[in-house]
Amino acid sequence: MDGLITLLPQLWVAAWETLYIVGLTLLLGGFGGLIAGLGLYLTRAGSILANRPVFGVLNVLVNTIRPIPFIIFLAAVQPLTRAVVGTGIGNNAMIFTIALAAMFAMARIVEQNLLTVTPGVIEAARSVGAGPVRIIFTVLLPEALGPLILGYTFIFVALVDMSAVAGYVGGGGLGAFALLYGWRQFDPVVTWAAVLLIIIFVQVVQFLGNRLARKALRR
């Protein structure tokens, strides 16, 4: 317990780092995932921009990258990370990698949520002369908003999970904190303090996500 008290300043820094990494990756990966998910949805057979080659490439890409365990993915894309971020280690390299992985995970979730929109509603929009861009912004996204919010809430947890690995490449956050001060120093109290904070984060975000989704779905 004394160990934890002396480590409190580091714990707060770690907590903020986790929030920073998760927040930024949610923004970047979430946006990338939205684009990729829309791409999958719009190009699939029978959809408004049906395009077999584009769908095929996107589909295979998502299926290939999504199942790679994150810690392996982290190492595998390091050359790309170095090229884009300038370094393969630290928080920014971590953010790039997590955002990339999150994008592919999110793409599937977005695609699935968009598929819940009744095709008839899209047909109704087409019947009054709406084009694809208008349909995306006035039909698809608003109609699927509730499930999309829940999807983003879901991916938040996956992001917290991925961010915990940051410690391996010189990044910070609660994962690195628990590894460094809890696991390596045989102090379970410190480890559990990090766990507790993560639980609080997840609870708060899930609560907010549920509320927003309920508002969007009006139930």
For other proteins, the binding residues (CB under 8 A) are 118, 120-121, 123-131, 134, 138-139, 142-143, 145, 216, 218
3-state helix, strand, coil in the chain (%, to 5): 85, 0, 15
Taking the complex as a whole, the smallest distance from the CB of residue 214 to other proteins amounts, in Å, to 14
Q: Which is nearer to other proteins, 135 or 160 (CB)?
A: 135
What's 131's DSSP letter? -
State the nearest-atom distance from the C-beta of 107 to other proteins, in Å: 22
Instruction: Output the smallest distance, CB 127 to other proteins, in A.
Output: 4
Q: Which residues contact 117 (CB under 8 A, 6 or more apart)?
A: 139, 140, 143, 144
Helix, strand, or coil here: 179? helix
* C-beta of 9 vs 120, nearer to other proteins: 120
Q: Which two tokens stand for residue 16?
A: 């903020």
- Give least dist CB 143 to other proteins, A: 5
- Alpha-carbon Rg for the chain, nearest whole angstrom, is 20
| Distance of alpha carbon 8 from the chain centroid | 28
**How far is C-alpha 26 from the geometric centre of its chain's CA atoms?**
5
Residue with tokens 């929009």: 125
**C-beta of 63 vs 138, nearer to other proteins:** 138
Comparison of 5 and 45: residue with beta carbon closer to other proteins: 45
- In the complex, least distance from residue 47 CB atom to other proteins, rounded to whole angstroms: 13
Of residues 138 and 185, the one with the C-beta less far from other proteins:
138
d(C-alpha 72, C-alpha 197), whole Å? 26
Identity of the residue numbered 21 = I
